[in-house]
């Protein structure tokens, strides 16, 4: 049986397999990154006054649908998540040789 872990979303705690939890975390970080890019791209054109918000949205959509951009966002999310979990495991390991603060 696969190891399960807690996933808290919307105030609810659910027991889910670790892989599913990691996929949800990666998907959430990609969605947040996409939203930040939307604000930057669409907002930039709108605030400068050269374009409408609709034109900015279309520019963002073209940008976000590029496979290299999506791959970079997913890879960054995966690597960040792995480093965070690796670092947490190193801190938990007794006698790791690092002094505690």
Give the residue extent of every domain in the chain: 29-84
Contact 46, 59 (CB under 8 A): no
CA 90 to each of CA 43, 64, 69, 84: distance values in angstroms, whole numbers, following the listed order = 41, 35, 32, 10
Predicted model pTM? 0.74
Instruction: Kindly give the confidence (pLDDT) of every residue in the chain, 101 residues in length, as a single tens digit, with 9 standing for 90 and above.
Output: 578 888 888 889 999 998 898 899 999 999 999 999 999 988 887 788 777 888 888 989 999 999 999 999 999 999 998 898 888 888 877 665 555 54
């Amino acid at each position: 049986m696969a190891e399960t872990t807690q996933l808290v979303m919307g105030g609810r705690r659910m027991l889910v397999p670790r892989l599913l939890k990691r996929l949800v975390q990666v998907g959430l970080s990609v969605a947040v990154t996409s939203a930040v890019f939307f604000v930057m791209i669409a907002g930039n054109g709108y605030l400068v006054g050269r374009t409408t918000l609709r034109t900015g949205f279309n520019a963002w959509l073209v940008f976000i649908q590029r496979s290299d951009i999506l791959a970079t966002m997913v890879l960054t999310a995966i690597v960040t998540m792995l480093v965070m979990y690796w670092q947490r495991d190193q801190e938990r390991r007794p006698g790791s040789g690092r002094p505690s603060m």
